[in-house]
Amino acid sequence: MRGQTASLVLLLVIVLEHESESAECVTHPKVPLLTQSLRPLAFVPHIKMLTLADGKKDGKEFISMAPGYFPEIAPELWNDWKWQLKNRVTTLAQLEQHLTLSEEERAGVLLSGDKLALAITPHFFNLIERDNPDCPIRRQVIPRIEETWASPYDMADPCGEDSHMPVPGLVHRYPDRVLFLVTDRCASYCRYCTRSRVVSGVGKQELHTEFEAAFKYLEEHTEVRDVLLSGGDALLFSDAKLEKMLSRLRAIPHIEFLRIGTRVPIFLPQRITPELCAMLQKYHPLWMSIHVNHPRELTTEVRAALERLADHGIPLGNQSVLLAGVNDDLETMKTLVHKLLICRVRPYYLYQCDLINGSSHLRASVAKGIEIIEGLRGHTTGYAVPQFVIDAPGGGGKVPINPGYVLYHDQEKIVIRNYEGKIFEYPETGGDQSVQFAPQREYHDEYLYS
Ligand code: SF4
């Protein structure tokens, strides 16, 4: 204790000695040294119980919104994931009981119901601001009239999944891995869902996964070493049903790596029970890709769920979709990626929104995505920087999109710029003719010939 006090005194002395000075900082030119010294402490998690009435809407802190719009519900029911599913908000009347809807939303709820169902878990519904039509949470889950509009680029199956299915429900697009669509149901439905043609069960197209044929295909195709369970959301299955599926996959010797793509920890953190985690732990290596778009989605309950998964050895990555009016600004994304690291989740991908039917109002520009990556790379740890990708329309797979850091490249040198815009040259070693790569020659005259 005495040692701690001495350390604190020493820190204070150092800080006070420097307090009168200012230093150059790349992002904030005149940040006092005291502030710089304290900045790392901003990442220390806070646990607070706040409600929307407290006005804490920027998502910087971990807070619980429970019981929010459901004050009469007993905690044991609230914490029961099956109660959460049974009591999802699914109708216009339920929405209007709690929220002030805009005309666009009211019309959207009435007209888009035969395309993608409306369903929001009470937990996630609590994150929605009652009177703010621009609330970044409601834009993700409450339909708007714009969903019924068709833009010239819209597609029903933008990633070309249906044309890469050797067996119904099994997408084999990349050489060594498959996407296994195990269900068409989710805890809540995202209005920009790339698989909205089949999820939720209300559209014209239905998902009819042929499980036995899929397992047989996987047993025969020894080149498949990686299976991603998605849908829909596999974590909506009972523990027993999910375990049956995982053990069947684990019995295939050449399958090295299992993944689950899920938004359940965010929509329904109550589902991440100790029993589920203990079961999942038996099937390592098992990784999980979660899906968070806005920092407010990372509540105290979600953080506890993610920590439970991490404690059971499940590596966690996050896939965000770049969405207009939700996360298409640097500060929001920066808060999100820093909170993810606190939750032990590595920001993995930032997706340019797919060209899914009725999503044009939610699509931000590619330029905005590049600007966000530019604002993260070098300005914070590389662990916090997701890879920005476009899933090439029609089934071309994920293509990484980066700010232009390579200015020139030939057999003799590469010319690069860093995050501050400074230019550097690095020599190529001996013009190795055996190296196969797609040379990136971007001729930026102002750098090379001035
Ligand atoms: S959770 Fe995933 S699959 Fe389900 S609606 Fe959202 S984006 Fe689609």
52 pLDDT higher than 60: no
Q: Ligand 1 pocket check: which of 121, 141, 195, 318 to mutate, most ligand atoms within 8 Å of Cβ? A: 195
Do 388 and 431 share a domain, yes or no? no
Catalytic residue (choose from 177, 225, 250, 417): 177
Q: Which of 5-14, 122-131, 300-309, 399-408 has the lowest mean pLDDT?
A: 5-14
16 pLDDT higher than 60: no
Run of H or E residues at 13: helix 2-19
- Tell me if 90 is assigned to some domain: no
Do 289 and 391 share a domain, yes or no? yes
69, 126 in Cβ contact below 8 A?
A: yes
Catalytic residue (choose from 159, 186, 277, 343): 186
Do 237 and 362 share a domain, yes or no? yes
Do 331 and 433 share a domain, yes or no? no
Whole-number pLDDT of residue 434: 72
Do 364 and 443 share a domain, yes or no? no
Position in ligand 1 atom list of the atom nearest CA 186: 4
Q: What percent of the chain has pLDDT over 70?
A: 83
- CA 41 to centroid of ligand 1, rounded, Å: 35
Could you tell me if the CB of 199 is within 6 A of ligand 1? yes
* Amino acid sitting at position 181: L
Q: pLDDT band for position 439 (50/70/90)?
A: low
Whole-number pLDDT of residue 29: 34
Q: pLDDT band for position 441 (50/70/90)?
A: low
Do 227 and 327 share a domain, yes or no? yes
Do 331 and 411 share a domain, yes or no? no
- Tell me if 426 is assigned to some domain: yes
Whole-number pLDDT of residue 431: 59
- Tell me if 134 is assigned to some domain: no
87, 189 in Cβ contact below 8 A?
A: no
- Tell me if 311 is assigned to some domain: yes
- Tell me if 8 is assigned to some domain: yes
Tell me the Cα Rg of the chain. Answer: 24
Structure tokens that stand for 419 in this block: 């995050």
Q: Is 177 a catalytic residue?
A: yes
Position in ligand 1 atom list of the atom nearest CA 231: 3
- CATH assignment of the domain containing 297: 3.20.20.70
Q: Ligand 1 pocket check: which of 88, 233, 322 to mutate, most ligand atoms within 8 Å of Cβ? A: 233
pTM: 0.85
Could you tell me if the CB of 182 is within 6 A of ligand 1? no
381 pLDDT higher than 90: yes
- The domain tally of the chain equals 3
10 vs 68, more confident: 68
Domain range spanning residue 435?
Answer: 406-448
139 pLDDT higher than 80: yes
26 vs 71, more confident: 71
- Tell me if 145 is assigned to some domain: no
Q: Is 353 a catalytic residue?
A: no
- Tell me if 54 is assigned to some domain: no
Tokens 């029961």 belong to 80
Whole-number pLDDT of residue 432: 63
Position in ligand 1 atom list of the atom nearest CA 263: 1
Q: Is 131 a catalytic residue?
A: no
Could you tell me if the CB of 229 is within 6 A of ligand 1? no
pLDDT tens digits for 80-97?
A: 999 999 999 999 999 999
Q: Is 190 a catalytic residue?
A: yes
41 pLDDT higher than 80: no
Do 327 and 428 share a domain, yes or no? no
2 pLDDT higher than 60: no
- CA 115 to centroid of ligand 1, rounded, Å: 14
Could you tell me if the CB of 263 is within 6 A of ligand 1? yes
Query: CB neighbours (10 Å) of residue 106?
Result: 17
433 pLDDT higher than 90: no
User: 328: closest CA among 350, 348, 360?
Assistant: 350
Query: Which residue has its alpha carbon closest to ligand 1 atom 8?
Result: 193
Do 294 and 216 share a domain, yes or no? yes
Helix extents (H) in 156-299? 211-220, 239-250, 264-267, 274-281
- Tell me if 112 is assigned to some domain: no
pLDDT tens digits for 316-375?
A: 999 999 999 999 999 999 999 999 999 999 999 999 999 999 999 999 999 999 999 999
Do 194 and 257 share a domain, yes or no? yes
pLDDT tens digits for 256-270?
A: 999 999 999 999 999
274 pLDDT higher than 50: yes
| DSSP codes joined into one string, 19-78 | HT-EE--SSSTTEEHHHHHHGGGGGS--EEE--GGGT--S--SEEE--STT-TTS-HHHH
Q: Is 391 a catalytic residue?
A: yes
Do 394 and 414 share a domain, yes or no? no
Would residue 332 be called left, alpha or beta, if left means φ above 0 and alpha means ψ between -120 and 50 degrees?
alpha
Whole-number pLDDT of residue 83: 98
Q: Which of 110-119, 260-269, 271-280, 364-373 has the lowest mean pLDDT?
A: 110-119
Query: How far is CA 47 from its chain centroid?
Result: 22
Do 378 and 417 share a domain, yes or no? no
Whole-number pLDDT of residue 422: 96
Whole-number pLDDT of residue 33: 37
98 vs 437, more confident: 98
